[in-house]
Amino acid sequence: MATRNFAGVAVDVDEEGYLTDSAQWTEKMAAEIAKEEGIELTDKHMIVVNYIRECVAAGEGLTIRGINKSGLVDAKTFYQLFPGAPLKKATKIAGVPKPISCI
């Protein structure tokens, strides 16, 4: 396990850079993680990020289909907000573990 500094706070991350303790996450950290992923966070990004955090806290599984069905954003917009690997990037920014469905 490695340690990274985001927003002046040292946090433990796994080998892929995901926070190991989501309770340490802050919105300031999210902005720094997003910048590393090449994303400039907007209010729309944060709506999705907070939804993901709520789902994980409730023990719900995350899928792109689930994000689409949430009514927050459609799948096309989700891909535009988090290009390349939307679920992987969004969960990393949200400070939650990488979903099992992501390789």
- Residue owning tokens 């991350």: 13
* Catalytic residue list contains 55: no
Long-range contacts of 4-11 (CB under 8 A, 24+ apart): 6/32, 6/33, 7/31, 7/32
Which of 9, 42, 102, 103 does the annotation list as catalytic? 102
Which pair of structure tokens corresponds to residue 74?
């459609």
Distances (CA, A) of 23 to 11, 12, 69, 83, 92: 10, 11, 26, 26, 13
Catalogue the active-site residues. Answer: 102
